[in-house]
Structure 1
Amino acid sequence: MALTATQQVLNQVKDILSDGDQLTQKELWVRVSMSSEMKSVVYTDAGKPRLGLLQGILNRVVHSKVPGLMAIVDNSGVRKYTQTENNLLDLLPLFQSLKKQLELTTFNSKKLNGNQKMLTDRVTKDIEQLNRDLSEVKLAFKPTIGD
């Protein structure tokens, strides 16, 4: 099965950032569009750039929805993109989402039997602890670009 254009661009972005570079959207576009195998993907038949392919991927990176990639802001306020090997940072949004879902779920304790209530309480406590642990990791991991 052939990869979609978005998947091809995402793979190319991951390859470009695999050497630890921290690049802006413009720099990434230049690197992606210079690749001979990507020219037919990132440009239309009429030669117009398909900037939305990269923009869509980078929007997902900003919202922590692309494992292994993250957006950072340097000291001058410029957003750059980089690769991360920190799997805990990739999991943080998932656990925050699970915690929020648990908070929004109202359990009627009268309808739960003892084992269900005990299991629900245990899962809630475990997710809250994981959320605290992951938040500490995120606070400790503050990538900076230059000084």
Structure 2
Amino acid sequence: MEPVSVAFTWEDGADRSVGLPSYESAGAAGADLRANLPGGESMTLAPGARALVPTGLRLAIPDGYEAQVRPRSGLALRHGIVLPNAPGTIDSDYRGPLGVIVMNAGQEAFTVAHGDRIAQLVVAPVIRASFVEAETLEDTARGAGGFGSTGRG
């Protein structure tokens, strides 16, 4: 599959040595995003706290694509660091700063250091729907069954 080009620019004052998003293995679907904190400082999140972690980047997603910001599984498992709006969507027409909303769902304070890998960026095609009003909807085996209606949980 041919790679999709995503253009990036640096925010004023960003530390360029932190680097652009990068795939850390040959089969990785997500490119790691790194914290690019002002002055190279760190930030500490108390349990239950959330913060916007800057990446120092702006990006241009091609028309017909989106970028999804997703959590890193190791941070979630080991430290309870989650992205409360995961996956966060970056639309193709957005040109503002790329920040990652992180939340500490763990029981201990967590420090985000300058340059830490904090999230993954997945670029995906977008299919736009045409919404059409209907008099009725066709029946299915599930019907109107809600949360947990197909099994446990």
TM-score by length of 1: 0.24
Structure with greater strand percent: 2
Radius of gyration: which is bigger? Answer: 1
Structure with greater helix percent: 1
TM-score by length of 2: 0.23
